[in-house]
Amino acid sequence: MAQEASSSTSSKTISLKTGDGEIFEIEASAAKQMKTVQRLIDDLGDDITIPLHNVFSKELPKIIEYYKKDITGEITKDFEAEFVKDLNDDEVKVLFLAANYLDANKLFEFLSQNIADRLESKSVEYVRKYFGVENDFTPEEESKLREERAWSFRGIKEDE
Amino acid sequence: MKKIETSSKISLLNLPESTLDVILELLSPIELINMSKVCTYLRGKCRSDHLWDNHMKHKWGRVFGHFAFKEWQWHVTIITKEEGSVLNQQINILNGSLGSFSGSWPMLCVGSYLEECHNFKSLLLANHFMMALYLSLESGKFWFPAQLYRGLYVHDALVSYNSITDTFRARTRSWNGRIVGNDIHWDKLRFSPVETSSCVRHVSDCFQELKPGDHIEIQWRGNTQAPYDWWYAVIGHLDSCNENENYCLCQNSETLVVEFKQYPQRSSMRKAKLTRHTEDSAGNYGGIRKLHSQEEIQKWNELLDHQRYI
């Protein structure tokens, strides 16, 4: 059973090892926000380097940056906007999947909203690539879908 | 420089459904329809009643109520019946689906009307009820029952939405279906709190308990050939009562005093004296609905104040 000395826990750092072998440090209080990490700490102890097989060195620093802000209560709309501003759709997706794996709820919800926002104006073909799926409709089914949209939302232009 | 894994290697559809649902719940109705063109799996997910129920509540909750929903269920039954059935023939004649009827000739009321109802058939047969409902409202094809605020009364009508102007058109519920309003804004509408249509006298269940100070809405019509409207009023004291709360016996009297506060105290229009237990449908006053919700009462008081300043 890990010791719960509150004052010493808050300044303690945890070592995380990514799937591609790099090591990063985070504060124990930030680690608490990622339930998967916390579970691993509970099982393995907080002195050992925690292995994260499905998270890589490209995205983990971003995640750590987010939670650094979170534990000091500094997450604002401006910060979140800035956080995703320079990320392309793929990078956001990778972060989203990592947040899901780490069970990092706050980041997960924020990124879900960001993905939903990004999807709002994209074409069907783009969304297919994004989700990694094939078009499995018959031509008849496709034209039926186009018709549906045309009459149901008057005044909204039909896209290609 | 490290490259992030490309999209093609990580399919978001391999995630547990609940994770994908989180994103889908955040999408707008238009985007949900767009998303359903991606692949058959997403089409199924994006049409689920759960997602569209959220949108229904969010956009339509204030004006589309329980009784309007019952009308919708009636149309669903008609549309999904087999070809050639008696109910189905109704559609062929009018190209739309008529809702429930109430009242008796010549005061006949229609409960709702669904234009071009064949558009919804395939969605309904696939059990996508909420999506079909949402689209029927958004496209303006569903004329559903609602109430229009007009000064200090509400008028029962069938309303249809115009998504381009974000306003409504209204028709009277009477058989002639005359247009009674255009460019009606959302805040002038509310859902019908009772099933009773404007052609029928409302059966009141609150006569016994009505006492001075209670807020009510009461049906009133200009003549027996006109439909009822609902007027806001307050139960008042009998003339004989000195209005002292402790000694007031007005509740026990067979006479019910209905007070219309928009008229000055001395006006003859201010108070109406009605017989408490009567189902007399020949007079101009009809049934009574007691108001329980603070929100409703407050809305009427705001309208009253507005009236006074004119």
- Binning pLDDT at 50, 70 and 90, where does residue B58 land? very high
Cα–Cα distances (Å) from B82 to B79, B91, B139, in that order, read: 8, 12, 25
| pLDDT (average), residues B92-102 | 76
Minimum CA–CA partner of B32 in chain A:
A120
Tell whether B37 is within 8 A of chain A (Cβ).
Answer: yes
Report whether A12 contacts A28 (CB < 8 A). Answer: yes
Tell whether B35 is within 8 A of chain A (Cβ).
Answer: yes
Residue B69: its H or E element: helix B66-80
pLDDT of B126 strictly over 70: yes
Instruction: Compute the 3-state secondary structure of chain A and give helix, strand, coil in percent, each to the nearest 5.
Output: 60, 10, 30
Reported ipTM: 0.81
Instruction: Compute the 3-state secondary structure of chain B and give helix, strand, coil in percent, each to the nearest 5.
Output: 35, 25, 40
Q: Which residue has the higher pLDDT, A39 or B8?
A: A39
pLDDT of B105 strictly over 70: yes
Q: What percent of chain B lies above the pLDDT cut of 70?
A: 90
- Of A41-55, B93-107, B161-175, B213-227, the range with the lowest mean pLDDT is B93-107
Q: Long-range pairs for B45-52 at CB < 8 Å and ≥24 separation?
A: B45/B17, B45/B20, B45/B21, B47/B123, B47/B126, B47/B128, B47/B131, B48/B128, B49/B127, B49/B128, B49/B129, B49/B130, B49/B131, B51/B24, B51/B25, B51/B27, B51/B130, B52/B128, B52/B130, B52/B131, B52/B133, B52/B134
Q: What percent of chain B lies above the pLDDT cut of 90?
A: 49
Q: Pick from B79, B71, B52, B65: which is nearest to B138 by CA?
A: B52
Residue A22 burial (10 A CB sphere; 0-12, 13-18, 19+): middle
- Cα(B8)–Cα(A128) distance, integer angstroms: 10
| pLDDT (average), residues B265-287 | 82
**pLDDT attached to residue B252:** 84
- Binning pLDDT at 50, 70 and 90, where does residue A7 land? very low
**pLDDT attached to residue B174:** 86
- Binning pLDDT at 50, 70 and 90, where does residue A75 land? confident
**pLDDT attached to residue B56:** 97
The average confidence (pLDDT) of chain A is 85
**pLDDT attached to residue A159:** 44
A155 vs B contacts (CB less than 8 Å) = 163-164
Token pair of B128 as six digits:
């996508």
Interface of A with B (CB under 8 A): 20, 56-59, 90-91, 93-94, 97, 100, 108-109, 112-113, 115-116, 119-120, 124, 127-137, 141-142, 144-146, 148-149, 151-156, 159
pLDDT of A60 strictly over 90: yes
- Per-residue pLDDT tens for A80-120? 999 999 999 889 989 999 999 999 999 999 999 999 999 98
Q: What are phi and psi of B224, to 5 degrees?
A: -70, -10
- Per-residue pLDDT tens for B190-226? 999 998 888 888 888 888 889 899 999 999 999 888 8
- Are B8 and A115 within 8 A, CB to CB? no
Pick from A100, A120, A141: which is nearest to B15 by CB?
A: A100
Tell me, rounded to whole angstroms, the distance of Cα B294 from its chain centroid: 19
